[in-house]
Every structure is written in C-alpha cells, then in structure tokens.
Structure 1
Amino acid sequence: MLLTATLVGRLPTAMAPLALLLAARADHAGTTLGALLAALYALCGAVSQPLLGRAVDRRRLASVALAAATVAGIAFAALAVVGIGRYPVLSGALVALAGFATPPLEAGLRAMWPRLVAPQDQQATFALDATAQEVVYVAGPTLTTVLCQLLSPAAALTGCAVLGLAGTALVASRRPARALSPVRRKAHWTGPLRSPGVLVLLGSATLLGASLGSFNVYALAAADRHGTGWLAGALPAALSLGSLVGGIIWARLAHSVPADHLLRTISVRFAAPFALFLLTPEPALAVAAAVLPGLFLAPWFATAFRQGDRLAPQGTATEAAAWLVAVISLGGAAGTALAGQLSAAGPVAVAALTLASAVAAALALALRR
C-alpha cells in the first residue's frame, strides 16, 4: 500500500513536463516557453529535494510531504486557471513553486525501507521499488496525453494537483510515515555530504544520469538519421523495458558479496552495451540493443540507494536518498544539454557521449571505494 501510494503521489513529476508543453502550445505561447517551463520545474524539484529530505530526517515524512504537496497542488491548480500564455512571468513563478514543493516521497520511502524490512529482504525490496518507478514514467505521460485529448491541458495540470495531493495524503495516513525520525538530533550542516563514500556515490549517479539524458537525444538523432520517427520513442521505451525485466530478475537473486562490489559490477555491465551504438545499427537492432543496458538500470538504482543508506551518517538517510534523486535529475539535464550540442554531428557523436558518461560512472566507483 505504501509503495502504491508513493507511486500515485509521484505521478505529477512525470505528468507536469508534458502537460506544460501541451498547455503552452494550446495557449499559442510556443514550444520554447513550454520547454523552458518544463526545465524550470525539473530544476526546482531537483534543488529542493535535499532540503526537504533534511526536513524529513529532523521531523517526519507525513508532515513535510503533505505540506509540500498542498503547496504544489495549489500552484498546479492556479496554473490551470491562469493559463500559460497570458501571464508568462506568473506562470514561471507558479511552475517554480510547484517544482520546489515536490514532496520527497521517493527519498522518504527509500529511507524507510531499512526500518520496515528485514535485512535479508532489503535487496528484493529496493529492487521492487526501483522497478516500480518505471510505472510512473509510463503512466504519467500516457495519462497526460489522455486528459489533454479528451478534455484540455488545463485538466492535465489539475490532474497533477489532485493526484499529487491524493497520493501524498495516502502516504501520510500510513503509520511508518507518521512515525518520528529515529534520530532526532541536530545534524551537521553538510548532512550526508560529509561522508566521502556518499560523495563518490553522488558523483557516479550524476554521470549515470548524464548517460540517460544523452541517450534520449541519441534516440532523436538516430530517428532523424534513419528517417524513422518511431525510433525516438522506441529506444527509451526499450531501455525502460529492460529496466523492468532486470529489476524483476534482480529481486529474485541472492547475493553474498558486498553492495559496493555489486555496484561496481553493475555499473560496468550497464556501460558496456552502449558501445554497440557506435556502430549505428539498423533501427530494429538498435531497439534490441537498448534493452541490454536497461537490464542493469533498476539493479543500479536498487543497489545505489541501499548503499547510500549504509554510507549516510546517522540521521541523514532521507537527505542522502534525496541527493541521489537530485543529482540523477541534474546529470540527466546536463547530459541532454551537451548531447543537444553534439547532435548536429550525428548519432555516433551522441552515442560516444552516452558511452563516455556511463563508463565514467563506473570508473568513479572503481577508482574510489
């Protein structure tokens, strides 16, 4: 129940970017403004997550998340009423507010698992969590498209408000979310960042996010190269499918080696298949190849968040998980921006960036344990 409620509460993070793009187009404000607002929403959400995570560590998830979801819901509802095109400055302020008030459900839940699940079941639990997040990124855009087609983009923005608040309220109603933080003390101002292991993990996560962001641009470049528009959506979908399958398999496996060794091994296996895209394979082969790195994506997330909980200083588990969420998003944005600059040189150049980012993520873990 707790995982399901969290997924519902996180739907706005996958719905809002597309809803803002479609709302801007419907208001004749242009795709450029919609893209800027979508980027602003993601950036503000990434910046606020560690701050909200720290608040959860010092208080409780229910109160912090519910307050944030209420603010975000009001901002989304106001956007639906005001519109995007008529008052762009006001729209930007509301989008920023909605992003900053993104409730820390993902980090909060992952910080709770070690307290709720027996040690022997934690690997399977983290794998299930990492696999289930694919549902958010499939259902969110789909629901947004349906609402826009049947009703309007304003209805999609209203849906962000309703679903975010409803899911967060369900999470807040559960006893684990209402429990006080197990360590209620004044933490060091650097929080989990004073742990060298956490810093290494965050660096690797940033590079992994960059590889994911650049791969989306690769999909567009490859689609243009082959003249097959469907490839732009099929490649990221194949990566997600691989992640779904890999997460299910990972949850059923038993591992006796330490988590840090597992993470290094997974990172290498995630990076290696991206070398195939330097060969500019035909569309069907490219889709099949995209499944291969995806098989190790959910296991990477599951192991990284579990390791982050172990490495974080006492009383900073939620903030550490929030930092992981944030740097993956920021890395994705940086990878997308850099790949966009390289896209004029063709898909091979973008594929090289994707491979380099994934390899660097593995090296960061290998060189500094």
Structure 2
Amino acid sequence: MSSYANLLKTRGVGRIMAAQLVARFPFGMLSLAFLLHIERVHGSYGAAGLVLAALSIGQAIAGPLTSRLMGRLGMRPVITGTIAICAIAVSVIALVPMTIPLTMGVAFAAGLTMPPIQPAVRTIYPKMVNSKQLTPLFSLDASAQEIIWVVGPVITTFTATQVGTVEGILLAVAFLVGGGAWFLSSPELGRVRIPRSRKRLGAVLAKPPVLLATIVGFLLVAACAAIEAGVVASFGHGGAEAGIVLAIFAVGSLVGGLALGHVGIGPWALAQRMLIVFAGTAIAAVSLNVWWLAVFLFLAGVGIAPALAVMFSIVSSSVRFSETAEAYGWVGTGQLIGAAVGSALAGFLIDAQGPTGAFVVAAALALVGFLVPLLGRRWHPDLRGRDASPIPDTEPFAAVTS
C-alpha cells in the first residue's frame, strides 16, 4: 500500500485518475440502467437487449474512430463534443416515451458519441510517471476501474430500485457531464499531444497483444455484465440484496487488484487471472442463495482488476506512442461492447430460464476468456523485468507546453 501511496504523490496522478474515474462512471452504469428502464417500460428483458445491442454497435464504431480523431483535432475538442451529444441522447431515452425501434436509434447515437476518455488517459499516463512506475500505475488504475464496472452498477441498482429507473439514467448523465468537465480541466490534456498516426485505421489490431487484450477484455466485461443482470433478476427490483452482493463482488476486485498489482507479468499472467474469474463464477452459478453468491462472486472478483492491469500493460509495451490512443480505443470498445452484449444475452436467458440463465452465460463467457489467453500465450509479452512504456516514435512530434 505504501508504494501506491507514493505513486499517488506524483504530481497530477491522483487528480487525473479521480477525474477520469468520475467521467467514465456512466460506462459502468448505462447498460444496467437501460436494462432496468426498458424492462419496466416495455415489460421485456428481450426488448431491453435490443436497445443494448444498438448501444453496443454505436460504441463499436466510435471507439477507435474518436480515439484516432484526437490525434488530428486534439483531446479537448473531441471529448467536449462527444460528451455534449451523448448526454442529450441518454437523457432523451430517460425522459421521452418512445417505441423500441426509436429507442434503439437514440441508443445508437449515444453509443456513437461515448467520449474517448479511457484512450486519452491511458495515453497520458506514460508521460506522467517513470518507466518503473508505469506497471503499478496500470494496476492501481485497473483497481479503480472496478469502481466503474462493479460499483457503478451497485449505485444504479440502488437508485433504480429505491427511487426510479429514470433517476438511475439521469444520475449517469450527471456523472458524465460533471466528471467530463473535471477531466477536461486537467492541465495534462494541454501538455500532452497525441501524434497523428500514419497507419490506416485498424492496423494496430495486427499486433497480437492488442488483439488479445481486446478479445479478452470483451469477454471479461461481458461476463461481469451478465453477472450483474443475474443478481438483479435474482432478488427483484425492491430489495437491497442485489446491491449488497454486487458491492461484495466489487470488493473482491479491489482486493485482487491491490494484492496482485506488483506480481510479475509473464506469458501465463492473463490466463491465470481469468481462471480465477471463471472458477468463482462457475461455482456461484450453482445456487441463488444470497450468501453463496456473495462468497463466490467475491472470489470471481479477485481476478478482474489484475486481468485488466495485464491487458493495459501488454498493450502499452507493444505499440508506438502515436498508436496508443487507437490501441486503447479498440480495447475500450471491446469492454464497452462486452458490457452491452453480456447484459443483452443475460436478458434473453433470464426471460427463457430465469436468473440462473444469466450466471450460466457469465460462466461460459469467463471460460472462453480463460481459454483465449491460454491458447494464445505465445502472443503474450513477458514483461518480467521489462519496461511497459510505449515504443518511442522514430520521428519528432509537437508537444504543447502551455
């Protein structure tokens, strides 16, 4: 813990980490908020799944495009414009009664304008700390990210069940606008300029570690989203049990991230961490008892933040600085699509088989998430004793200093 405390004393690290965390909170809230809202309005988890599918398609298109656009227009203009449009689209879904096809269209617009905050901050981090601090910073950031993916849904669940689903969505909008403004005020956005990439869009996916991180990130977050939907369906809309179980799930991830943050990243690292997630999820699927789920979802959570930290590190060490924003754009897109697809698949299985179906989906996704890095370990860089910083570009690029 002392090493993380020292890291946070580095100028600007704690501030920008907190700002991006608040700005990205809606990424972990909207899938579940839309699931609950559309199910309440239209009486079908399947209909909610269609809306989430539209959201995921928009995110799939936007992720690498907006990330790459930051190299042309700058981080602040791109992030400001996308926040404004996304906030309007999400608010319309909450406040305006619409048919499912029309709601899908607005959800697509919201996904298309999700602000590229994750690629921006991942690109800034290597310019804020030295090479020895970068991997621990990714570990700390991954642990903090679990507040987005796990605690975010807890807040959404409590708000939607105890106050209302409209309020649950509008709370996400408040985080988006307020956190976005805080992040945009960070001076690092003016000091670091992303070089314009000279390669075609998508070329960075030809790098095996980037593709590996994108696929496994998709599967991991999809499993988490299915778990969240299953927990909510298990305990209904009126009780506190769902929030308690999801909170314990989050604690497991935070504990895992902090405990394993300094463990060396070898070629088996990602598979080992995904095995923890699969084992906990598979055992949790056996019973819907609240304490059974709490114990074994805590175990599953222990692997989540460490797995994300490995993904960030292997991507950073495998690309040039001018490619980092787009690379993290693809990884972020995979995670965001995973959140929507996991919720959608779980929704259809809940309609067909009850809450147990969601946990079966989650276990299947986590199993594939373990097998992919196991079979693709030759693509996994061995970072033990190595610098995880991006590869320097071979030509100079402009840096704004004020």
Q: TM-score range by the shorter chain?
A: 0.7 to 0.9
Identify the residue that residue 256 of structure 2 maps to in structure 1: 246
Structure 1 position 294, deviation (Å):
1.3
Q: 2: CA distance between counterparts of 1:77 and 1:351?
A: 29
Show the 5 A alignment for 1:63-212.
63-79=77-93, 83-85=96-98, 89-136=101-148, 137-139=150-152, 142=155, 145-146=158-159, 154=166, 156-212=168-224
* CA distance 1:269–1:57, shift in 2 (3 Å): farther
Identify the residue that residue 263 of structure 1 maps to in structure 2: 270
Query: Quick check: which one's helix share is greater?
Result: 1
Q: Is the 8 A contact 2:154 2:246 kept in 1?
A: no
The counterpart of 1:353, out of the listed 364, 375, 381, is 364
Structure 1 position 300, deviation (Å):
0.9
- The runs of at least 4 aligned residues of structure 1 exceeding 6 Å deviation read none
Aligned amino acid, residue 257 of structure 2? G
The range that moved more, 180-189 or 275-284, is 275-284
Deviation by residue 1:7-63 (Cα, 9 ceiling, x = unmatched):
22223333434544565577x544454553344334423431121111124443222
Identify the residue that residue 3 of structure 2 maps to in structure 1: none
Q: 1: CA distance between counterparts of 2:339 and 2:173?
A: 25
Aligned amino acid, residue 356 of structure 1? L
* CA distance 1:177–1:364, shift in 2 (3 Å): farther
Q: Is the 8 A contact 2:60 2:333 kept in 1?
A: yes
Q: Is the 8 A contact 2:54 2:105 kept in 1?
A: no
- Is 1:290 aligned to residue 297 of structure 2? yes
Q: 2: CA distance between counterparts of 1:276 and 1:34?
A: 28
Identify the residue that residue 398 of structure 2 maps to in structure 1: none
Deviation by residue 1:326-359 (Cα, 9 ceiling, x = unmatched):
2233345555555654973966855762553243
- Aligned-pair identity (%): 24
Aligned amino acid, residue 260 of structure 2? W
Aligned amino acid, residue 214 of structure 2? L
The range that moved more, 322-331 or 105-114, is 322-331
Q: Is the 8 A contact 1:262 1:303 kept in 2?
A: yes
Q: How many residues align?
A: 357
Identify the residue that residue 51 of structure 1 maps to in structure 2: 65
Q: Is the 8 A contact 1:127 1:299 kept in 2?
A: yes
Q: Is the 8 A contact 2:49 2:345 kept in 1?
A: no
TM-score w.r.t. the length of structure 2 is 0.74
Structure 1 position 123, deviation (Å):
2.4
Q: 2: CA distance between counterparts of 1:295 and 1:168?
A: 29
Q: Is the 8 A contact 1:12 1:161 kept in 2?
A: yes
Identify the residue that residue 344 of structure 1 maps to in structure 2: 353
Q: Is the 8 A contact 2:49 2:343 kept in 1?
A: no
Secondary structure (helix, strand or coil) at the match of 2:317 reads helix
Structure 1 position 218, deviation (Å):
5.9
Aligned amino acid, residue 206 of structure 1? F
Secondary structure (helix, strand or coil) at the match of 1:74 reads helix
* CA distance 1:195–1:97, shift in 2 (3 Å): same
Aligned amino acid, residue 310 of structure 1? S
Q: 2: CA distance between counterparts of 1:290 and 1:318?
A: 32
Structure 1: which 5+ residue stretches go unaligned? none
* CA distance 1:55–1:216, shift in 2 (3 Å): same
